[in-house]
Amino acid sequence: MTFLRRLLSSLGFRLALGFALIAAISAGATGAVTTWSARDNILEAEQNRLIGDFNRMFAELPNEIGDPYLNDTPNRAQFILDGIRNQLRGPMGAEIPGTSQFVGNLSPDAVPESIRAASVPGNQPLYLRTRDGGSAAFSVAQAKEIQFYTGAGTVASYPVLVYASYPLNKQEQQINGLTTQTALLTLSVGVAAAFVGVLLCRQVLRPITALRRAVDRFGRSPTPVRLRASGVRELGGLIDSFNHTSGQLHRTVAELTESEKRARRFVADVSHELRTPTAAMVAAADTLDNPATAPEQLAQAGRVTASAARRLAKLTEDLLEISRFDAGQIALQPVGFDAVERLGLLIAERGWPQVSISAAEELRVRLDARRFDVIAANLIGNALSHGGAPVDVVLDATESRLRLEVIDHGTGIAADDLPLLFDRFFKSDQSRSRGGTGLGLALVAENTALLGGSVQVQSSPGRTVFTVELPFAGDAEE
């Protein structure tokens, strides 16, 4: 029962059965119509032939029967029937209604009573197809008025009923043969359709089965699950979509995994960065809170507290900026400005010494001014804090791109550190001893990418160059 239930619930079995039923019904209906039409044609052709034979025989029957040498005969009906006996050929007979006398190869009972009673001299012949048991027959009846005459003249007119009953066994055998052939053809078509249905089902279900197995191992596979497109075009398109979705999901999962790792590392890095200024502030607070602390120590504790607070504020500001990038909440606000003038004001506000600008007198661009400030400030501040003075800033522009170079003359950056330089909280060995949050260059990379530009770094002992290229909308008024 379980196997039968599984078989009946199988899509392949249902499709094969559906193909077989549709083909068998179509073939059966076509065969039935064809057989019925052939049956009518066979019977009609045979009936037309038999009617023609009957009509020729009927036309040969005499209109008068008698003997000029007779004055009369006591049995006129029998005399008339004896006169036409030799002209009745085959399964035919004749009788005069109302008498018990008849001639021919058939008995009156072989002809249906309905056409015997309806036959009237001068009317058209009557036809009827009958079946007695397993035998079929075609009956024809027609009445003719025959004059009986003697030497004294015509005596009387007698209606003679002439009938025939032809067997149709041979035609029935032909029809039965056609019916048998139709049944065999229907069965063969049904079996062939079921076989074709099975093949088509395999073509349809093979990709679906492969797709189901691929879905089963989708969550366990460390690599994207891919299938080879085969079968019909629509299913091939489905497999292509599955492969594309599998690749996208795998990339998404990998990105989420990597994002989770970065988040854990980010939390650890933030905790580490917060620990240093917090510990310094706690130690300075303890010193300030002690009444026995000397004035010199109080001043030193105040300076430590102020430095730690500034570092904590800078870290907080950078973290908020990073969080806005991660949340996608940064909206660009491009304005027109002079890049040389704005860069000079930025350096002057920060009070950075030993920073020189090399640029044309005026470079008007249309950018997000705040993003430009963040990029320039972090690069110059990084050069002053972790590189070496003097710091040269070079501004140049083409028709659609602004080029900013920040050059310091420090000890350089180790080659192993260059690929990691723009990662969040990354600090080279030289910069670890000099403080910093480790987010400055990460913010440079984020803002540059947001503006659609690029940032590169080249370093050698005594010279490090950060190069930023930013696309802009051309000369524009603010």
Segments in the chain below pLDDT 50 = 430-434, 476-478
pLDDT of amino acid 433: 45
pLDDT of amino acid 431: 47
Pair 214, 227: CB distance under 8 Å: yes
Out of 162, 177, 192, a domain closes at 177
Question: Is 222 contained in some domain?
Answer: no
Out of 302, 323, 344, a domain closes at 323
Pair 463, 412: CB distance under 8 Å: yes
- d(CA 452, CA 366) in angstroms, rounded, equals 13
Question: Is 203 contained in some domain?
Answer: no
Q: Do residues 63 and 105 both lie within one domain?
A: yes
- d(CA 102, CA 415) in angstroms, rounded, equals 133
Q: Do residues 300 and 424 both lie within one domain?
A: no
Question: Is 101 contained in some domain?
Answer: yes
pLDDT of amino acid 466: 93
128-144: string of b/e by CB count within 10 Å (b at 16+)?
eebeeeeebbbbbbbbb
CA 384 to chain centre: 61
The partner residues of 395 in beta bridges, in order of sequence, read 404
Q: Do residues 32 and 153 both lie within one domain?
A: yes
pLDDT of amino acid 405: 92
pLDDT of amino acid 195: 74
Q: Do residues 238 and 168 both lie within one domain?
A: no
Closest CA to 280 of 302, 251, 249: 302
Single-letter amino acid, residue 345: L
Q: Which residues contact 366 (CB under 8 A, 6 or more apart)?
A: 334, 335, 336, 337, 472, 473, 474, 475, 476
Where do we find the tokens 């949050």?
437
Question: Is 223 contained in some domain?
Answer: no
DSSP 8-state secondary structure symbol assigned to residue 217: T
Out of 301, 323, 345, a domain closes at 323
Pair 464, 387: CB distance under 8 Å: yes
pLDDT of amino acid 478: 44
What are the tokens at 28? 């059966």
Q: Is the pTM of this model over 0.75?
A: no
User: What domain range is 310 assigned to?
Assistant: 233-323
Q: Do residues 287 and 350 both lie within one domain?
A: no
The partner residues of 404 in beta bridges, in order of sequence, read 395, 468
Pair 137, 161: CB distance under 8 Å: no
Q: Do residues 319 and 432 both lie within one domain?
A: no
What are the tokens at 474? 């051309």
Domain count, the chain: 3
Closest CA to 208 of 177, 181, 186, 230: 230
Pair 358, 392: CB distance under 8 Å: yes
CA-based angle 336:338:340, to the nearest 5? Answer: 150
What are the tokens at 322? 């990073």
Neighbours of 232 (CB within 10 A): 12
Question: Is 476 contained in some domain?
Answer: no
Longest Cα–Cα distance in the chain? 184
pLDDT of amino acid 93: 86
Where do we find the tokens 């039965």?
176
Question: Is 452 contained in some domain?
Answer: yes
Q: Do residues 304 and 372 both lie within one domain?
A: no
The SS3 call for residue 359 is: coil
Q: Do residues 342 and 318 both lie within one domain?
A: no
Q: Do residues 63 and 133 both lie within one domain?
A: yes
Question: Is 226 contained in some domain?
Answer: no
Strands 153-167 and 92-95: antiparallel
- d(CA 195, CA 187) in angstroms, rounded, equals 12
Closest CA to 460 of 422, 419, 414: 414
Q: Do residues 114 and 247 both lie within one domain?
A: no
Single-letter amino acid, residue 358: S
The partner residues of 153 in beta bridges, in order of sequence, read 150
pLDDT of amino acid 454: 92
Question: Is 202 contained in some domain?
Answer: no
pLDDT of amino acid 432: 42
What are the tokens at 413? 């950056």
Domain harbouring 242, CATH code: 1.10.287
pLDDT of amino acid 272: 60
Q: Do residues 307 and 339 both lie within one domain?
A: no
The partner residues of 458 in beta bridges, in order of sequence, read 465
Q: Do residues 110 and 155 both lie within one domain?
A: yes
Q: Which residues contact 472 (CB under 8 A, 6 or more apart)?
A: 365, 366, 367, 397, 400, 401, 402
Closest CA to 114 of 127, 124, 133, 98: 127
